[in-house]
Amino acid sequence: MMGVSELSGFNFEPDLMTQAKSDPGVFTRLYFRHYDTIFRYCAHRLFDRTTAEDITSEVFLSMMENFQTFDGNERQFRNWLYRIATNAVNEHLRKTIRRSAILTWVRQWSNNDKTGEESHPDESEQKTAVVKKAMLTLKPEFQAIVTMRFFENLKLEEIAEVVGTSAGTVRSQLSRALEKLRKHISSAQLNGQEVTI
Amino acid sequence: MNHDEKQFEELLKKVTFDDKPDYRHRDKLEQELLAAFARRQWQQEKQSRQTGVWRAIMQNRPMRLVAAAAVIVITGLVCVQFLTGTSAYAQVVQELRNAQTVVFTLITQTNQGNSETVRTEMAYKDPGWLRTTTVDGYVAVVDGTSGKMISIVPGGGYTLGEIKNLDKTGEQGPLASIEAMKNLPAKADENLGTKEIDGIACDGYRVTQGDLTTMVWLDVRTGDLVQVEQKYTSAPGMDRIIKNIKFDVELDDSLFSLTPPAGYKPMGVEMKSDVAIQTEETFVAWLGWWANGNTDETFPPMVAGTEIAKVTMDMAKQGKLKSSAWDKVNPQQMFNALLFVAKLPQESNWRYAGNGVKVNTPNTPIFWYRPAGSQMYRVIYADLTVREVAENQLPK
């Protein structure tokens, strides 16, 4: 049976959580161990560095509110952070106009590229823009699952723990999300962008 | 993984995202979290009226080091050289000379791993009072006339200290720094042209004094001092930026009080030192503690106050200090070691070359200086031996 410390290639430290509650030095180490993970998750969800940093701050400050009463190991702590981050990003995407602004930007970029009036991005940039656009058309909940699975390399069981459902449900939602992504990316291909999936 | 998943994964391998963390944000957030952590602990202590938080913290090894580092922030003052730099320039120099008070922000870029920037708010008031405040709330106050000082730590702790013979510190001593600031040469060596800083068009001037090169930038329109940049030959990778500079602002004497704030508690360490008696042995012992105590087994990136404190704290947070090192943390030793460097005069031509050098690397000099009255140099090697060497045999 797989041990906790072997999950997702992350070495979780036993006893860290208990010590971190009373020791600022250990608490800081815990924070350092998880900052990059949460920032990257936010960046992969939002495609915007500044917003990702804002949400990352929100996540950790929110965590701080309930840290003393959190009762779990470091793996559960990481999943808790993912859960706070997922809720914060979803809330942000629902409230803000940034999502439409990003889509407009992607659309403008695509149009400019097609008319050839602007600079010609390389193949990687083209693929990036298409993936961003396709991801942002997904429902936030689906987007979260795709990001955790493919960007953060979490296992289905871990995603299920974060989003509070079963691994089977995650698999089903992932399948539906990928189907939607396939359609959007195929549509981009039909519009002349060389992207295959 | 099914077919769709494999295809999507393949696609993602070909795309790029701007997802590299910016450690300035990480460090800023860390400070906010630590402040919240300290507030929470303080509230808990008040509520429970149990054993003082600081007693608990001082029983904790990592925090002992943090506390020590906070104390060493005081010696960060040894780094505050504010040397130099046409008519607008000369006017600024005159203002500096006549200023009764000066406040500014000191930004140090250590360029060491994640410890990219140290930002400290500085305030000076005649006849020789200094107050420094770091972004995470550590405050140090020094009365340069008596050598007495206090270090105040966020969350309710403080440490008192005293440096005897403060006037014996060299060009990097706190009082000498202020004197240097007030004795800027009336003429700059070179006009650097114009550049924009924070949206303000500025004229630049360069002044070189000893191993310090200073660039002074003045507002083209008003002639006001906007920014000062410093680079040290003896401390590469430790560039400093001084900005938000204001002269003769009202500074209440209470800002420079050496009385601990109400409700704050002593942290159990008291720094007492005499500049006159700090020796090379203390400095070598501290270099050894550092190099043998970190997981890379390398010497510190620099040998100056504020920066080394910040780097030490960051290494502790990242788990890069060996557990055996915690037991040997000696704030007084660190304090004395840094004072040894602080008191070396410019004529000693001291240089530090230990950044990244592994301890016990054979035949590798990491620090050298010329003692007063001597023709020979004392060279400290990476194996912590010390030899006397003629000037023509020094590393280039």
Which of A132-146, A162-176, B86-100, B138-152 is the least confident region? B86-100
Give the chain A residue nearest B30 (alpha carbons): A28
- Spatial distance between the Cα atoms of A177 and A167, rounded to a whole number of angstroms: 15
Structural domains in chain B, CATH included, are 65-256 (2.50.20.20), 275-393 (no CATH)
Of B8, B15, B17, Cβ closest to residue A178: B8
Residue A56's pLDDT band (boundaries 50, 70, 90)?
very high
How many helices (H) and strands (E) would you count in chain A?
9, 0
Of A23, A31, A182, Cβ closest to residue B30: A31
- Residue that is last in its domain, among A45, A78, A96: A96
Give the minimum alpha-carbon distance from A168 to chain B in angstroms, rounded to a whole number.
14
Q: Please determine, for residue A86, whether its predicted confidence score (pLDDT) is greater than 70.
A: yes
Q: How much is the CA Rg of chain B, to the nearest whole Å?
A: 23
Cα distances (Å, whole numbers) of residue A142 to A195, B76, B344: 21, 51, 64
Whether A47 and B17 lie within 8 Å, measured CB to CB: yes
Query: What is the percent of chain B where pLDDT is above 70?
Result: 65
Say yes or no: A186 and A107 in one domain.
yes
Say yes or no: A129 and A89 in one domain.
no
Say yes or no: A108 and A196 in one domain.
yes
Q: What is the CATH number of the domain that holds A159?
A: 1.10.10.10
* Strands annotated E in B58-126: 101-112, 115-125
Say yes or no: A128 and A87 in one domain.
no
The closest alpha carbon to A74, from A25, A153, A12, A9, belongs to A12
Give the chain B residue nearest A54 (alpha carbons): B25
Residue B268's pLDDT band (boundaries 50, 70, 90)?
low
Report the number of distinct structural domains present in chain A.
Answer: 2
Whether A127 and B11 lie within 8 Å, measured CB to CB: yes
Say yes or no: A121 and A195 in one domain.
yes
Say yes or no: A31 and A119 in one domain.
no
The closest alpha carbon to A36, from A136, A143, A152, A153, belongs to A152
Say yes or no: A166 and A196 in one domain.
yes
State the Cα torsion A141-A142-A147-A149 to the nearest 10°: 110
Q: Is residue A4 part of a domain?
A: no
- Spatial distance between the Cα atoms of B300 and B112, rounded to a whole number of angstroms: 10
Q: Which residues of B touch A40 (CB under 8 A)?
A: 19, 21
Q: Is residue A139 part of a domain?
A: yes
Say yes or no: A163 and A118 in one domain.
yes
DSSP β-ladder status, B239-247 and B377-381: unpaired
State residue A108's pLDDT score. 54
Q: Is residue A1 part of a domain?
A: no
* Strands annotated E in chain B: 101-112, 115-125, 129-134, 139-143, 148-153, 157-164, 190-197, 200-209, 212-219, 225-232, 239-247, 265-266, 271-274, 351-352, 365-369, 377-381, 386-389
Q: Please determine, for residue B123, whether its predicted confidence score (pLDDT) is greater than 80.
A: yes
Looking up tokens 């040997």 gives B328
State residue B100's pLDDT score. 81
Of A129 and B169, more confident: A129
Helix (H, G, I), strand (E, B) or coil at B263: coil
The per-residue pLDDT of chain B, averaged, comes to 73
State residue B339's pLDDT score. 77
Whether A197 and B9 lie within 8 Å, measured CB to CB: no
| A33 alpha carbon, distance to own chain's centre | 17
Q: Which residues of B touch A131 (CB under 8 A)?
A: 11-12, 15
Say yes or no: A110 and A42 in one domain.
no
Give the minimum alpha-carbon distance from B262 to chain A in angstroms, rounded to a whole number.
23
State residue B365's pLDDT score. 94
Interface predicted TM-score of the whole assembly (ipTM), two decimals:
0.78
State residue B30's pLDDT score. 85
Residue B57's pLDDT band (boundaries 50, 70, 90)?
very low
Looking up tokens 């004094």 gives B209
Q: Please determine, for residue B370, whether its predicted confidence score (pLDDT) is greater than 60.
A: yes
Whether B12 and A39 lie within 8 Å, measured CB to CB: no
Q: Is residue A2 part of a domain?
A: no
Q: Please determine, for residue B373, whether its predicted confidence score (pLDDT) is greater than 70.
A: yes
Asked if A88 contacts A55 with a C-beta cutoff of 8 angstroms, the reply is yes
Average pLDDT over residues B303-329: 66
Whether B38 and A24 lie within 8 Å, measured CB to CB: yes
Of A22, A123, A197, Cβ closest to residue B8: A197
Q: Is residue A3 part of a domain?
A: no
Q: Please determine, for residue B281, whether its predicted confidence score (pLDDT) is greater than 80.
A: yes
Q: Is residue A70 part of a domain?
A: yes
Average pLDDT over residues B303-326: 66
| B334 alpha carbon, distance to own chain's centre | 13
- pTM value is 0.47
Say yes or no: A76 and A115 in one domain.
no
> What does the pLDDT look like over B174-206, one tens digit per residue?
444 445 555 556 677 888 889 988 889 998 888
Query: What is the percent of chain B where pLDDT is above 90?
Result: 10
> What does the pLDDT look like over B132-154, one tens digit per residue?
887 667 788 888 778 788 888 77
Whether A53 and B57 lie within 8 Å, measured CB to CB: no
Whether A35 and B29 lie within 8 Å, measured CB to CB: yes
- Residue that is last in its domain, among A96, A117, A145: A96
Residue B355's pLDDT band (boundaries 50, 70, 90)?
confident
The per-residue pLDDT of chain A, averaged, comes to 78
Q: Which residues of B touch A181 (CB under 8 A)?
A: 8
Q: Please determine, for residue B172, whether its predicted confidence score (pLDDT) is greater than 50.
A: no
User: How many CB pairs lie under 8 A apart between chains A and B?
Assistant: 113
Which of A34-48, A55-69, B31-45, B78-92 is the least confident region? B78-92
- Spatial distance between the Cα atoms of A23 and B62, rounded to a whole number of angstroms: 8
Give the chain B residue nearest A181 (alpha carbons): B8
Most confident range (mean pLDDT) of B99-113, B213-227, B335-349 is B213-227
Q: A73: domain range?
A: 9-96
Say yes or no: A163 and A78 in one domain.
no
Q: Please determine, for residue B320, whether its predicted confidence score (pLDDT) is greater than 70.
A: yes
Query: What is the percent of chain A where pLDDT is above 90?
Result: 26
Q: What is the CATH number of the domain that holds A51?
A: 1.10.1740.10
State residue B392's pLDDT score. 87
Average pLDDT over residues B355-368: 92
- Residue that is last in its domain, among A96, A130, A148: A96
Q: Which residues of A touch B329 (CB under 8 A)?
A: none
The closest alpha carbon to B9, from A138, A94, A147, A60, belongs to A147
State residue A67's pLDDT score. 87
Average pLDDT over residues B334-363: 82
Give the chain A residue nearest B14 (alpha carbons): A124
Give the minimum alpha-carbon distance from B47 to chain A in angstroms, rounded to a whole number.
15
Say yes or no: A108 and A134 in one domain.
yes
Whether B19 and A150 lie within 8 Å, measured CB to CB: no
